[in-house]
Homo-oligomer: A and B are copies of this chain.
Amino acid sequence: MPVFCCLFLDFSHLLPALDGDAKTMNFLQEVVDIMLAYIVESFDRSTKVIDFHYPNELLQRNNWELSDEPETLDDILISCRATLKYAIKTAHPRYFNQLSTGLDMVGLAADWLTSTANTNMFTYEVAPVFVLLEYVTLKKMREIIGWQEGRGDGIFSPGGAISNMYAMLLARYKMFPEVKEKGMSSAPRLVAFTSEHSHFSIKKGAAALGIGTESVICIKADERGKMIPSDLERRIIEAKQKGYVPFFVSATAGTTVYGAFDPLMAIADICKKHDIWMHVDGAWGGSLLMSRKHRWKLNGVERANSMTWNPHKMMAVPLQCSALLVREEVRLSASCNQMQACYLFQQDKQYDLSYDTGDKALQCGRHVDIFKLWLMWRAKVLRALCLVCVLRERTLMLSAGHVSLQPQHTNVCFWYLPPGVRYLEDKVEKMKRLHKVAPVIKARMMEYGTTMVSYQPQGDKVNFFRMVISNPAATFEDIDFLIEEIERLGQDL
């Protein structure tokens, strides 16, 4: 029998304790009841999106410390309630703050089940079902991209930034495989290209991989945030003239702020001409491939060498779920990262070793992110969801106080001009004051807890709101509510 040293603790009465079944069921059921109440509340518009407190205040509102005294299971339930009380309700119909919003019930059930199965993706041996589901799902995703018979490879990674980094690693490995053993000093100076509106993870990846952020050349985007192909080609030629080696172009399908789609077909032509790995960062916009009506925005993606696609964004799969899809054969991505650790990837196993996919990963242990996507897909939550979201596009009515950029996706970017700013004639002063409007309104919004939306500057544009619709619970009325709330909170500015 297990001899637990803390004899009087409640947790020791739970499984695997003898006769722990009933106590365990009761305890877990209590937790489930807390969660079910929270879920119902999250969708209730009469509740707050957030019960916001500044960090020092929140630290004092509850005992969050790790003391030496053990807690009883009752205390544990109190901690669960407190944690949810101060959490953001990301499922709330008026939560528009991030690209990932909403809470899908099938996805949630699948994530609970994943936790219960508590295993690791490294080998078929320890995750037989999940490995097969990755295989089935990645193949389906590649078919949807348009790669012949769904051939190629792929991996689920911990987020879009890591998926993009994988793509860069693969591109480098394909051109200079010796870098794996000999490091970057064995290669000439490599340069990558991406638009000035692309996600920061391209630079972050280049920094980590020893390529350096200065070797990521930012290509100009047009007024709507789309990469300008002629500028791409100009900068590629320029780089070659300097003796650098262009190895990677990352086009974006759905930029973070504007929701812009780079012209993939033109970019594919340039990549082909100059023999450069073409990656499509579709972390945000990739899900439009599921929509018959909108997939044209990604025309040309079938010519890419790799694509990042995050079902945890527009497809509302619970966090996190990001896939890197690769057109090349399996051999490339396997050998790029593999180290063949003999304690894990034994070559004398009795089953087909191609299912031991873990050695392709940068990680050793890898969280099971597939089941929630697979189960939602089976329920056909996904296709419906994509359509719903896209239908809501361009629903933002522009009133006198709002000036909007032209939307291409479900991002709607706009300024709110409060009365005190609206009629200012000095343009410099006007922009200076407008820049301060969004942060103040956002802070007030959080204090009231009524809704949440993001803001940022972009290039020479001062702070503007970025409304994103990816929450399947949001309705037209919720969008109206956001606009009215911004006006209410900003009218004195």
Inter-chain CA distance A385–B24, complex, in Å, is: 18
Chain B neighbourhood of A131, CB < 8 A:
55
Interface flag for A98 (CB, 8 Å)? yes
Interface flag for A363 (CB, 8 Å)? yes
> Known contacts being A83-B371, A367-B158, is A339 close to B200, with CB within 8 Å?
yes
Interface flag for A403 (CB, 8 Å)? no
Chain B neighbourhood of A454, CB < 8 A:
343-344
User: In the complex, which residues 176-232 of chain A have their Cβ closer than 8 Å to any Cβ of chain B?
Assistant: 179-186, 189-190, 199-201, 203-215
Nearest neighbor of A72 in chain B, beta-carbon distance:
B379
State the interface size on chain A (CB cutoff 8 A). Answer: 180
Q: Are B200 and A212 in contact (CB under 8 A)?
A: no
Interface flag for A472 (CB, 8 Å)? yes
Q: Which of B201, B352, B375 contacts A364 (CB 8 A)?
A: B201
Q: Are B379 and A118 in contact (CB under 8 A)?
A: no
Q: Are A120 and B98 in contact (CB under 8 A)?
A: yes
Chain B neighbourhood of A440, CB < 8 A:
350
Bitwise interface map of A from 373 to 406 toward B, beta carbon under 8 Å scored 1, else 0: 0110111110110011001000000000000000
Inter-chain CA distance A50–B351, complex, in Å, is: 15
Inter-chain CA distance A79–B374, complex, in Å, is: 10
Interface flag for A448 (CB, 8 Å)? no
**Which among A88-96, A266-274, A425-433, A482-490 touches the partner chain?**
A88-96
Q: Are A162 and B128 in contact (CB under 8 A)?
A: no
Chain B neighbourhood of A35, CB < 8 A:
112-113, 116
**Which among A6-14, A235-243, A296-304 touches the partner chain?**
A6-14
In the assembled complex, the CB of A145 is this many whole angstroms from the nearest CB of chain B, namely: 14
Q: Are A320 and B367 in contact (CB under 8 A)?
A: yes
Which among A131, A365, A375 has the highest number of chain B CB atoms within 10 Å? Answer: A365
Q: Are B118 and A115 in contact (CB under 8 A)?
A: no
Which among A210, A257, A362 has the highest number of chain B CB atoms within 10 Å? Answer: A210
> Known contacts being A3-B388, A350-B439, is A210 close to B210, with CB within 8 Å?
yes
Q: Which of B125, B366, B475 contacts A1 (CB 8 A)?
A: B475
Chain B neighbourhood of A185, CB < 8 A:
184-185, 189, 212
Chain B neighbourhood of A53, CB < 8 A:
128
For the complex of A and B, the 10 pairs showing the least CB-CB separation, nearest first, are A210-B210, A183-B212, A70-B380, A16-B473, A350-B443, A184-B184, A184-B210, A111-B115, A158-B158, A343-B456
